[in-house]
Every structure is written in structure tokens, then in C-alpha cells.
Copies of this chain bind each other. A is one copy, B any other.
């Protein structure tokens, strides 16, 4: 068995069982791939693919398992080359991140700008999706970092660092009744209006309904959308009161919208960053985390990355007070 054989195997699979395509991807000849595959199958003494005539038709059950293991081998080999680049002080490589719309749109832009200024040779990849899609990407090692909020159940295989807390805000058109009300916002007053908020199943949204139910309220959710931009649009149209993450309220929204702090009405939510346990962290990755969470000292991030158990990580992070993130700093309501 050689690394080349395993690489070829994975290339074939990732090319849809098309050996010719795999050959092109690898800048080599097609018969070479064929031969190596035969050799690998011969050595293992099993068919990794079912054949339909001469073409590969499907992966055998045994093949699936071998492919899974082969991917691990290649990942670790990647890790070794990654290590060597790191130890030579090269600041080249890639950083791929999977995250939600809220982070991608309201939090990451300035982080990424600062990052790519400091590391112009690092290729950045940003994937946006639902929690489930993010989990899929990080669990199959297609991305390096996952940044999400709330539920960690889908991400139990990761090392996870808390980044910051946030609360929800209520969003109304300027001049709306609620905007005039000087008293603190309550769930009861909110429940009197149709609500516009995120689609459920996203980060901790179950806590949204629970908060109302705990007070015996059953608010009407007029509309749900995947991201705050759309919610804002519908709030402007007067569809109802928007309930969004505090970070999603921008200063220029002040022109026609008013944010009302809803801290305390709903549970506080933590945004965290996770990465596979056995991944080699390049120094630019540590720096990215530091840019994203400046309140975490680089030393602690470095240690946390090495921590073997969640407990050891807890111990390291015990003292750190996470900031609560708001949106527009000029607006006292959102910056609470």
C-alpha cells in the first residue's frame, strides 16, 4: 500500500467514480490511476468498487470503510505537511470557515479584512449555511473552523472555544408604538404584535418559543426568514415586530428602524468557534481566533488548542469574561 494509491482512490471517489476525471485532477495519466487501483484492490484482496462492464458503478460496502480510513490517512499526511510549513515559518495556506448568515454578514467582515491584510498569502474560504450544513462541513473535514451559536449537540467531536455572548433585540419601524413606550420591554407586550424572526431549527431558536410559553403566551409568528436582512425588510413593511440578534442591528438601520433591547427576555446565547480535535492549527489560525475574540489572550488560545479534554479547556477559560456583543455602538439599546 502506498500513499499514492490512497490518493488516487480518494480522487476517483471525489470525481464521481470517473477515473479519467481523476487523472485530470491529478495531472497524470489515466492508465496510471487504473493500474494503481487494481494494485490496491489486489493487495487488500477485495473489490472496492462494483464494475458495470469496465466502468466503476458503485462503491462496495467494504470500499466505503476503506475510503473512510484512507481519508484519515491523507488528512494526517496533510497535517504533517502543514506542520512542516508552520515550523518553517511560512505564512501560506488556506483557512476555510463554515458559519451562519449572522456571523458572515455582521461579525466576520471586519475580522476577515484585518486577517487578510495581515496574511495576504492565506486563501480564505467562507461557507454559509444552517447549523446542520455547518455540522456536515466540519464533521467531514471540508472546513477548518465552524462558527455558530447555541446548540453544540451537532458538534460533539470538536474542540470548542466560546467567543462572545449576545442577546436578542426587538426591531420596529421608527414611530411604532413600542418605540415610544418608555417602560422596559416585556414578553407580554411583544406577544401583542405579530412577530418576524429567524426560521426555527437554527441556533437555539427553540428557546424563543419556550420563553413565551413559560409565561403562558402564544405569540403569532407572522413570518420567518433565514437572515436578519430579510427580517428587516419585512419589519419596514410593517409585517410585525422583528426579533433578531443584537449584532444584526447596524447604525444605518437607525434611519427608519428602532431597536429595543430584549436582554433578559430570552436566554443569552453564546457564539463559539470549533475545529476538529486532531487538526494542526497553523499560527495564522490562532491569529484569526484572536482577531475574532480579542479578549482571549493568544497564550490562552494556544493552550486551549492543545487541551486534550473539554475539562482542561474549561479550566483554562474559567477566568475569562466574554463580552456581550451588540450591533450599532451609537445606539444604547442595541449596545446594552
Using CB atoms and an 8 Å cutoff, list the residues of chain A in contact with chain B. Answer: 1-4, 43-46, 62, 65-66, 69-70, 72-73, 76-77, 79-81, 83-84, 87-88, 156-157, 278, 280, 308-309, 311
Given the complex, which residues of B lie within 8 Å of A2, measured CB to CB?
A: 2-4
Q: Please give the count of copies of this chain that the complex contains.
A: 2
B80 touches A62 (CB 8 A): no
Residue of B nearest to A278 (CB): B72
A168 to B32 alpha-carbon distance, docked (Å): 65
Instruction: For A76, give its contact among B69, B80, B81, B87 (CB under 8 Å).
Output: B69
A87 to B61 alpha-carbon distance, docked (Å): 10
Query: Interface majority SS on A: helix, strand, loop or mixed?
Result: helix
Given the complex, which residues of B lie within 8 Å of A156, measured CB to CB?
A: 308-309, 311
Residue of B nearest to A82 (CB): B69
CB distance from A26 to the nearest CB of B (A): 16
Given the complex, which residues of B lie within 8 Å of A72, measured CB to CB?
A: 76, 79, 278
A66 touches B46 (CB 8 A): no
Given contacts A2-B3, A62-B87, A66-B84, 9 further A-B contacts (CB under 8 A): A2-B2, A2-B4, A44-B80, A45-B84, A66-B83, A69-B79, A69-B80, A72-B79, A156-B308
CB distance from A88 to the nearest CB of B (A): 5
CB distance from A219 to the nearest CB of B (A): 32
| 19 chain-A/chain-B pairs, Cβ below 8 angstroms | A1-B77, A2-B3, A3-B3, A44-B80, A44-B84, A45-B88, A46-B88, A66-B83, A69-B76, A69-B83, A70-B80, A72-B76, A72-B278, A73-B73, A73-B77, A73-B80, A76-B76, A156-B309, A156-B311
Most B CB contacts (10 A, CB to CB) among A4, A69, A79, A309 go to A69
**8 smallest A-B Cβ distances: which pairs?**
A44-B84, A73-B76, A62-B87, A72-B76, A69-B80, A156-B309, A69-B79, A45-B88
